[in-house]
Structure 1
């Protein structure tokens, strides 16, 4: 227990909670809209049990993913296209490559969606009088779909399962307590969602970097000599794919947050000056 109480784990937990909150925006919005289709008397219970079941299944998904990464460490294929692509591939390589590409695609898609002028609730049909059970089942199913990117981004930050599970539990508790409030806040303060999406892009890059060394770490774990393991590092056009360091990742996040805070303050100042000029004109 004592080994979990470190500054690194605490920092990772804070970052994971922030990402879970940002990645859960669409989920919160969906839950708040879909729960309104249940009978009015059951809507609060629908939100509560939908989130409880979904968070439980998300932890199961996380545990399964972490265990698979540990069990399927041995490289199963080696590229030998000299000058183009060389290095080994294991299960973790595939997960990181697909996950990194998927997360970056999700972030870019969401940024594009935010730039559109469509109303998030535009496509929501009128209340259909669904039963509470069917609405809960639909919320749980959609939550699992939404959870794929959050689970992959969490694994990119740390492999310490108690930290990962704690972040998911805390985000689930926040969803239960603040579902409606968080949705309204993020709708009014969309810059926080934009910030989170750009952080998500960086997380995608982190995952792609991890893919380059996944076979190396897997080979070392099963007792392969250091020299043979190093030969399994992925190289693209002769350049080795290396993971981003945690210090670089956190520095990038700090810079993004600082830019967002300064830009928000400057925008408020400009708006105040415009209002003052309009009053005096």
Structure 2
């Protein structure tokens, strides 16, 4: 078959890797958002949210391939010289709206974690929502995350079956990893803040990408897109800092515990006679 050429197979491998890398932040969001659902429904919420999102991503892929030229056409322009200028397409609006919404979500969750009434209550202090509303939010955010990865994939090839297979395989990987990532975050609560910071950076990346594609200028300064290498370097640095902080905190706690033992009344009274 013409579909199973060496070139298409090489493209498929590249697309699977691309979907896996770009899908990391999506998986992180799913893991954090699913904790809003009732505890008994969280695994089901993650599973159905990912399955519905995969189906919609394939539909979105097909529509985007058919309307590729339309997506790049300018819908409107802003020309307030010295304040804001730019030419906006459907794609740039999705990036700008999606980036802003992701940043809002991350900041709201970080503020919730820092709120005084959250301290000491753990996950139970979170406001629970129905399973259906959490699934809807996961699907909606998945589509926003998908837009960038689908556009990147279409830039590599427009062969629909190859693109669809890459999406299906990346979705399968998300299904397999979703529970593991959620359990890890649940057991290591300090990494939830790290995950939210990653989402915050993702929002900044999407805003920069949308502004750059729209040739936007704010107060005379051109909006530049963050390079993918800078983005992933920032994520690696965040994880390294978190791991070092965790190790250092445990070492400090061990030293303090040892000092408390050495200065406790029982240890002093049972010490050698002078």
Where on the TM-score scale, by shorter chain, does this alignment land: which range?
0.7 to 0.9
Q: How many residues align?
A: 235
Gaps of at least 5 residues in structure 2 are 1-8, 155-162, 264-274
The alignment's TM-score, normalised by the length of structure 2, stands at 0.73
* Pair 1:108 & 2:107 matched: yes
Q: Among 23, 34, 48, which residue is 1:28 paired with?
A: 34
Match of 1:145 in 2: 137
The structure with more radius of gyration: 2
Q: RMSD over aligned Cα, in angstroms?
A: 3.0
Q: Distance in 2 between matches of 1:60 and 1:3?
A: 22
Deviations 1:227-280 (A, max 9, x none): xxxxxx111111111211111111111111111111111111111111111111
Shift of 1:35: 3.2
Q: 1:15 to 1:32 in 2, by over 3 A?
A: farther
Deviations 1:109-152 (A, max 9, x none): 11112223255335569xxxxxxxxxxxx634421213333432
- Contact in 2 for aligned 1:20/1:167 (Cα 8 Å): no
* Pair 1:2 & 2:10 matched: yes
Match of 1:242 in 2: 224
Mean Cα deviation higher: 26-35 or 265-274: 26-35
Gaps of at least 5 residues in structure 1 are 37-43, 126-137, 216-232
Q: 1:27 to 1:169 in 2, by over 3 A?
A: farther
Q: Distance in 2 between matches of 1:150 and 1:253?
A: 20
Q: Distance in 2 between matches of 1:115 and 1:164?
A: 36
Shift of 1:83: 1.5
Match of 1:209 in 2: 208
Q: Distance in 1 between matches of 2:168 and 2:190?
A: 27
Q: Distance in 2 between matches of 1:106 and 1:250?
A: 21
Shift of 1:155: 3.6
